[in-house]
Amino acid sequence: MNLRIGIILGSTRPGRRGDQIASWLLDTARAHGGADYALVDLAHHDLGNLDEPGNPNHQRYQHDHTRAWGELIDGFDGYVFLVPEYNHSFPGALKNALDYVYREWNDKAAGIVSYGGWAAGVRAAEALRLVLAELQVATVRAQPAVPLIPSFASGTFAPGDGLAASVGDMLDQVTSWSTALRGVREGKMSPAA
C-alpha cells in the first residue's frame, strides 16, 4: 500500500498567503512522488475551539467533528506542516487541531515548511517541533523556509531559487521515516507471540 502523506495548511487567517504556497507545495510533492499526497486545509474543517470533555489519549470522542478529524489524521502515514509564523510561534488554529486527537498522530513522521517575514517562519517551525515531539511525531531535519517578501514581490507566489530542491530533500526524509514508522505502528498492532 502506498504511503499517504497529509500536507496540513496551518493557517485559517482571512487573506492568508499560505493557500498559494500550499497549492505549489502539493503540486511539487506530487511531481516528486514517493507517496500519495493530500492537502488538509484547516480552514475547511469546522473544529472550533477544543470542545471534547475527555483526554484524547482515550479516544472517547463525543462529537462528530472530532471523530471525522481523527479518522482523517489516522489515515496518513506522515505529514508535511505548512506553517506561518505569528508572534514567534505557530497559529493557535493549528495548536487547537493538534490537541483534538492524540493517538492518531503517534509514530508518524513529519516535515515542516515555514513561511513568514524575513525570518521565513523558522521560529514557528521550532515551536511546532516541541509540540509534535509530545504527540510522538518524529520531525525530519530538512526544513524549507519561505520568506514572504521576495516570494510575493509580484503579488502571487513565486518560489525562490532552491526551494523545490529543499522541499524534495524534506520529502525524501519524510517518506523514508514514514516507511520505517509504519513498521513500528504495525508491530504495535501485531498480537504477542
Can you say how many angstroms the Cα of residue 134 is from the centroid of all Cα atoms in its chain? 15
Q: What gap in Å lies between CA 89 and CA 58, rounded to an integer?
A: 28
For the cut 80, the answer to whether the pLDDT of residue 1 exceeds it is no
**Structural domain count of the chain:** 1
**Residue 100, domain CATH:** 3.40.50.360
**Exposure string over 160-184, b if 16+ CB within 10 A, otherwise e:** eeebbebbbbbbebbbebbeebbee
Phi, psi dihedral angles at 6 (to 5 degrees): -95, 125
Q: Give the model's confidence band at 130: pLDDT under 50 very low, under 70 low, under 90 confident, else very high.
A: very high
Domain that holds residue 22: 4-189
For the cut 80, the answer to whether the pLDDT of residue 193 exceeds it is no
Q: Give the model's confidence band at 19: pLDDT under 50 very low, under 70 low, under 90 confident, else very high.
A: very high
Please give the helix or strand (H or E) that residue 4 lies within, else none: strand 4-9
pTM of model > 0.75: yes
Q: What gap in Å lies between CA 139 and CA 158, rounded to an integer?
A: 26
Q: What gap in Å lies between CA 187 and CA 111, rounded to an integer?
A: 23
**Mean pLDDT over each residue of the chain, to the nearest integer:** 95
Q: Where are the alpha helices (DSSP H) in the chain?
A: 18-32, 64-74, 92-100, 122-134, 148-151, 163-189
pLDDT digits over 88-126, tens only?
Answer: 999 999 999 999 999 999 999 999 999 999 899 999 999
| CB distance 36 to 175 below 8 Å | no
How buried is 191 (Cβ within 10 angstroms: 0-12 exposed, 13-18 middle, 19+ buried)?
exposed
What pLDDT was estimated at residue 190?
66
